[in-house]
Amino acid sequence: MLTENTSLNAFIDALPKVELHVHLVGSASVPTVLELARRHPGGPVPTGERELRDFYVFRDFPHFAEVYEAVSSLVRTPEDVATLVLGVARDLAAQNVRYVDLTVTPYTHQRAGMPMPEITEALDLAVRRARELHGIRVAYIFDIPGEFGAEGARGTLRHALDHPPEALIGFGIGGIEQMRAPHRDAFRDAFRAARAAGLRSLPHAGEMTGPETIWEALDGLGAERIGHGTNCLADPRLVAHLRETRIPLEVCPTSNVCTGQVASLGDHPLPRMLEEGLFVTLNSDDPPMFGTTLTGEYRAVARTFGIGPQGLADLARNGVAASSLDEAGRAEVLAEIDALVSPTPEGATGSPDPR
């Protein structure tokens, strides 16, 4: 039970959490990236820690995408893939994260020469080891790299249908949103097939473009959850629709600052999204690249926007409700949250099941 003497930081540390929006390559710690860069020298990724941290200062989102692709090029073997999964599992478990929807972009690994069955074997092994070693449940979202257009959509879908990991639960799309329009039909076809196979539609949308991309994610891709979605506020009709349908929005504040989508954390639309009654979850996106953690995101919004323990617990509950955990898994994490704080009053954010 929370007492008046419990510090907010200690509360956040102890708060059971889930992570719904974090990328496999983007979650690689600085030491891991340095190890890969030294293993595969001669590329664009620096092999010194100071230089790598400078490498992670982004001019804008296209520059971030270039850096991300450069780091992705270092992942060349199935062993590298498994190492990354176990690394993020270890780091999240240390933050009291109980479950993670981990976004994997398998097409980039295919392009590096890894056969699909070997990638899948590495992902399956890592899920089992993450549970054994760190007590965290890992599920996967296969993500189309939008910059690769129809080819990327077909390659990602083929892997999802022909060689799916046991823990694959979702299908997504990321990358530079402005480059999607010419390939709209290919993306729609891929999502239609993925959904028919039982995968959840979990695309990024409305991070660097306006409400039209979110509408396309909802109407064209059948989105059940929206990655980012921060620009929804420009369209009152969209806000009303999101509020009514309880579509969860995976908000990643520090990411939006680092990629230049908002000028500063204080300018982030999170408070207004909460005021509008939107279903918001809190996430870290690519934490080492942005100098953050999931715990750091909770601390940042608490400090910047004055969100107290009850509001932070509601954000954590939202994450559980929006996750792909089974009913028993949800109940287990929610019970842990309730044991830390007094029960949320009836009608508080996060009680409905958005699925």
Which sequence positions are flagged as catalytic?
A: 207
Helices and strands counted in the chain (H then E): 17, 9
- Decide: 279 and 229 in contact? Cβ < 8 Å: no
What residue ranges define each of the domains in the chain, with the CATH number in brackets? 8-340 (3.20.20.140)
pTM above 0.85, yes or no: yes
Compute the distance between CA of residue 150 and CA of residue 180 in angstroms, rounded to an integer: 10
Strand partners, 204: 227
CA distances from 270 to 65, 212, 266, 277, 304 (A): 24, 20, 9, 11, 11
Q: For every residue of 304-350, which 3-state class applies, written as one string?
A: HHCCCHHHHHHHHHHHHHHCCCCHHHHHHHHHHHHHHCCCCCCCCCC
Tens of pLDDT, residue by residue, the chain (355 residues): 454 435 999 999 999 999 999 999 888 888 888 888 888 888 888 888 888 888 888 888 788 888 888 888 888 889 989 989 999 999 999 999 999 999 999 999 999 899 999 999 999 999 999 999 999 999 999 999 999 999 999 999 999 999 999 999 999 999 989 999 999 999 999 999 999 999 999 999 999 999 999 999 999 999 999 999 999 999 999 999 999 999 999 999 999 999 999 999 999 999 999 999 999 999 999 998 899 999 999 999 999 999 999 999 999 999 999 999 999 999 999 999 999 987 445 444 443 344 3
Identify whether the C-beta of residue 82 lies closer than 8 Å to the C-beta of residue 283.
no
The rounded distance, in Å, linking the Cα atoms of 145 and 251 is: 20
